[in-house]
Chain A
Amino acid sequence: TQLLEQSPQFLSIQEGENLTVYCNSSSVFSSLQWYRQEPGEGPVLLVTVVTGGEVKKLKRLTFQFGDARKDSSLHITAAQPGDTGLYLCAGISTSYGKLTFGQGTILTVHP
């Protein structure tokens, strides 16, 4: 069974601070995705990283995929209250799309 360890589980910060969420596994994934979910809604895809060492930027969010494709990180610069939510990493290991989710990180950004 492939596992994704996501940390931290909870993160409470002030507006303007930076933060990093980590996702680690002993298994190799063909690609890894990051989602954001708000209460009562389904997850929304933020990014997919495919190539080892890949870095993608989405405004204030920076996503990295480890060289060995076993780990990934999400860095948010100058966090805002609107960034509050549950962030999930998910690894794709098969061609038909089965996802393995990390435990999730609940981010709260205080004004």
Chain B
Amino acid sequence: GAVVSQHPSRVICKSGTSVKIECRSLDFQATTMFWYRQFPKQSLMLMATSNEGSKATYEQGVEKDKFLINHASLTLSTLTVTSAHPEDSSFYICSAPVTGRETQYFGPGTRLLVL
């Protein structure tokens, strides 16, 4: 089956630094990818839709200058958390739908801890 990978799996950084998270579709092309944020024992909250070759679409309340998304190729989307603060600590998950199918594959997630 289709596989989506994320890198890194976990990252610890100091407050004020920027962190980049990669999401890759390993054996299929994804013109669209989704980025979610998840707090402990809670559901996934959609942050933005990453579109290959165009600007990302952000959900209401998500700061586009804070969470930079780049979908530079059909297999790679990146989420950069700029000037990270402790409240940005969370589990970030990406997903990619397979074109023409309603199946969506999720990455294993990235645990971000900002000290």
A positions within 8 Å CB-CB of B: 6, 30-31, 33, 35, 40-45, 48, 50, 86, 88, 92, 96-104, 106
Contacts and interface: CB of A to CB of B under 8 A. Distances in A.
Nearest to B4: A42
Contacts, number: 58
A5 to B, nearest CB: 11
Contacts of A48: 102-103
Contacts of B102: 30-31, 33, 48, 50, 92, 97
3 nearest CB pairs, A to B: A97-B97, A42-B106, A104-B43
Interface centre among B43, B44, B103, B108 (most CB of A within 10 A): B43
Given A101-B43, A103-B42, A103-B43, 11 more contacts: A40-B91, A42-B107, A42-B109, A97-B34, A98-B34, A99-B34, A101-B44, A104-B41, A104-B42, A104-B43, A106-B41
Interface of B: 4, 6, 32, 34, 41-46, 49, 91, 93, 95, 97, 102-104, 106-109, 111
Contacts of A100: 46
B104 A45 contact: yes
A31 B103 CA distance: 11
A79 to B, nearest CB: 19
Contacts of A104: 41-43
